[in-house]
Structure 1
Amino acid sequence: MAVQRGKVRFASGDVECVGWHYPGTNGGCVVMTGGFGVTKEPGTELFARRFNEAGFTVLAFDYRRLGESGGRPRQVARIRDQVADLEAAVEYAATLPGVDPNKLAVWAFSLSGGYVFEVAARNPRLAAAIAQTPNADGPAATRNAARYQKPLAMLRLTGRIILDALGGLLGRDPLLVPLVGKPGTVALLTTPDSLRGDEALNPGNKYPDWKQAVAARSVPAATSYKPGRYAAQVQCPLLVLVCDQDQSALAAPAVAAAGRAPQAELVRMPGGHYEPFLGGHEQAVEAELSFLRRHLLERSSTDDPATAGSTPPRPA
């Protein structure tokens, strides 16, 4: 079945974000975004089409300064801004035609999968949330990733981060760091499973416009971010999907976070970080569709905490 989609734009603060709107038929809507430095097409299309074929409306968007969205300087990925963009996308999704505002879900993976914990914890509008192979503990993931990098390359990366941070203060263009590289090269990730990222997200260079790099100044915040701490405050149903051999985001912190969330469902599958985009895709997408059907389509408006007037406290 051919999936129809159209380009949409919405405001996040003073920046315009651009997304794909896949109109659905069942009233439910899934807001989707890619991982750190990953634009909407490679990051969401494989899952978005399956969700849409099942009747769900999908809003898949680019964060500010990435892809088709506005904002400068380009390729600078700031966590606070990206969390705000995801929250703005949820608000916008509630206004899309045919969408029941009581049937909204968010979906993201990798570092953005970590954002799901934070956004779901502070957004009573959400009926469900899916964190796929989320990076729930940046420091733990960074320590693990260091095992797969060579000391000289780590020093060169640190130098580039410092130079780019200073350049940012002076208004200079960003110094970029590739998202993935082999050990010994300057890259954000050199873990063995990260090397399958292009195969998983960009097979046959399907998305040639995707710039697979971020500003070096973006790296420190990503390595220190610990979104798993928000899990206990997530009141909506939360699906956490982990891959047991994940060397890039790590399964254990995500499993622990799921254990703290009141309504979490944990799905474990074998494989590395990108397995849900590779051989494990059917297992992953079927688990996520089952979750969405149960918590969006079987949900009544009276179940919504915003409708009932119950708003959970905003985390510090």
Structure 2
Amino acid sequence: MPRRDIEFDAEGTTLRGWFYPAKMSSTRAPVIIMAHGFSAVKEMYLDEYAAAFAAAGLNALVFDNRNFGSSDGDPRYEIDPVQQIRDYRHAITYAGTLPEVDPTKVGVWGSSYSGGHVLAIGALDHRVGAVVSQVPLVSGYENFRSLVRSDFIGEFRRQFDNDRAARFRGESPAMVPVVAEDPQAPSALPTPDSWQWFIETHKNRAPSWRNEVTLRTVEMLSEYEPGVYAPRISPTPLLMLVAENDVLTPTELALATYQTAREPKKLVFLPGGHFDAYLRGFDKSMPPARDWFLDHLQS
């Protein structure tokens, strides 16, 4: 069966996405819940992963995060990581109502920002039977300091405070670009590979993506610490896929977080940088995730 459009309620906000029914399955099958990373929408290669999971006999439910893409939510282009975690959990609840889904066999997959989210979900939601965290953000504080020059941080803090005061007065949120061609220019993700991937993917696959987020999004990123949940995921099985040369969510931060996780766990290195997992490294990133879910959800 082909994928179908879906929508579900998340605390009064309608989230929308796709459901890929498991192929070669005559009974209820496991389901993989998927959402994208920082500001990205589902058309940015999540369809490739979901189709591969479905071809292997796993249902896949993909949705756009609130305030982005086809999902509702205001203010537009604002990312609250804690709310996004709650929305994954709403998606798990919704998936359990679908006739194709075995609600006792749920996997969560996340990449980049949502790679951090699934660490928290794996620790908090005991409906989850397996976790795959790809090129994850594990520490907003450390990530922020790795991307922003130390002499710029004070100015960012002043901007955060000014924006909070302006929003209190009823003014519109301040906005910043997600990426910029000049890595020294203000942006949320100031790396050259971020600029290249987002702009090319927007042009070729995802016209609904917008190159902006609220300034408060960056502040919330700097406060977000999903890596602290890693030791609490056990006994739920955890697979971490870490890029060898990740400069956006630094490799060494992900490795340090992996060391804190307890068994059962597995680490797979992906060649290249942060965004290679979606493109030339897809044949390296997808099979381990697929096999992890098959091993731990089909028994």
TM-score between both structures, scaled by the size of structure 1: 0.86
- Count of aligned positions: 292
User: Partner letter of residue 274 of structure 2?
Assistant: H
Contact 2:34–2:60 (CA<8 Å) still a contact in 1? Answer: yes
Q: Deviations over 1:107-151 (max 9, x none)?
A: 11111110111111011111111110000111221121125x9x6
Which residue is 2:116 aligned to?
A: 114
Distance (Å, rounded) in 2 between the aligned partners of 1:163 and 1:52: 47
User: Partner letter of residue 78 of structure 2?
Assistant: V
Distance (Å, rounded) in 2 between the aligned partners of 1:287 and 1:199: 28
Query: Any residues of structure 2 matched to 1:3-42 within 5 Å, and which?
Result: 4-25=2-23, 26=25, 27-42=29-44
User: Partner letter of residue 217 of structure 1?
Assistant: R
Which residue is 2:233 aligned to?
A: 234
Which residue is 1:312 aligned to?
A: none
Which residue is 2:271 aligned to?
A: 270
Query: Any residues of structure 2 matched to 1:150-299 within 5 Å, and which?
Result: 160-181=159-180, 182-198=182-198, 201-202=201-202, 204-235=203-234, 236-262=236-262, 263-297=264-298, 299=299
Unaligned ranges ≥5, structure 2 = none
Query: Any residues of structure 2 matched to 1:42-191 within 5 Å, and which?
Result: 42=44, 44-147=46-149, 160-181=159-180, 182-191=182-191
Contact 2:41–2:206 (CA<8 Å) still a contact in 1? Answer: no
Inter-CA distance 133–80: structure 2 relative to 1 (3 Å threshold): same
Give the match's secondary structure for 2:198.
helix
User: Partner letter of residue 280 of structure 2?
Assistant: G
Q: Deviations over 1:261-307 (max 9, x none)?
A: 2221111122111110122110111111111111112x2xxxxxxxx
Contact 2:43–2:205 (CA<8 Å) still a contact in 1? Answer: no
Distance (Å, rounded) in 2 between the aligned partners of 1:163 and 1:205: 37
Give the match's secondary structure for 1:127.
strand
Inter-CA distance 284–35: structure 2 relative to 1 (3 Å threshold): same
Contact 1:73–1:173 (CA<8 Å) still a contact in 2? Answer: no
Residues 189-198 or 48-57, more deviating: 189-198
Distance (Å, rounded) in 2 between the aligned partners of 1:278 and 1:68: 23
Unaligned ranges ≥5, structure 1 = 300-316
TM-score between both structures, scaled by the size of structure 2: 0.90
Contact 1:35–1:43 (CA<8 Å) still a contact in 2? Answer: no
Contact 1:141–1:250 (CA<8 Å) still a contact in 2? Answer: yes
- Offset, 1:178: 1.5
User: Partner letter of residue 67 of structure 2?
Assistant: R
- Offset, 1:248: 0.7
User: Partner letter of residue 291 of structure 1?
Assistant: W
Q: Deviations over 1:95-115 (max 9, x none)?
A: 222111121111111111101
- Offset, 1:168: 2.3
Distance (Å, rounded) in 2 between the aligned partners of 1:104 and 1:160: 41
Residues 155-164 or 5-14, more deviating: 155-164
Contact 1:200–1:277 (CA<8 Å) still a contact in 2? Answer: no
Residues 232-241 or 40-49, more deviating: 40-49
Contact 1:137–1:228 (CA<8 Å) still a contact in 2? Answer: yes
Inter-CA distance 247–291: structure 2 relative to 1 (3 Å threshold): same
Q: Percent identity?
A: 32
Distance (Å, rounded) in 2 between the aligned partners of 1:43 and 1:89: 19
Distance (Å, rounded) in 1 between the aligned partners of 2:190 and 2:158: 17
- Offset, 1:55: 2.3
Give the match's secondary structure for 1:245.
coil
Residues 161-170 or 29-38, more deviating: 161-170
- Offset, 1:160: 4.7
Inter-CA distance 201–131: structure 2 relative to 1 (3 Å threshold): farther
- Offset, 1:207: 1.1
Distance (Å, rounded) in 2 between the aligned partners of 1:295 and 1:85: 23
Distance (Å, rounded) in 1 between the aligned partners of 2:100 and 2:92: 15
How large is the Cα RMSD of the aligned pairs?
2.1
Contact 2:45–2:278 (CA<8 Å) still a contact in 1? Answer: no
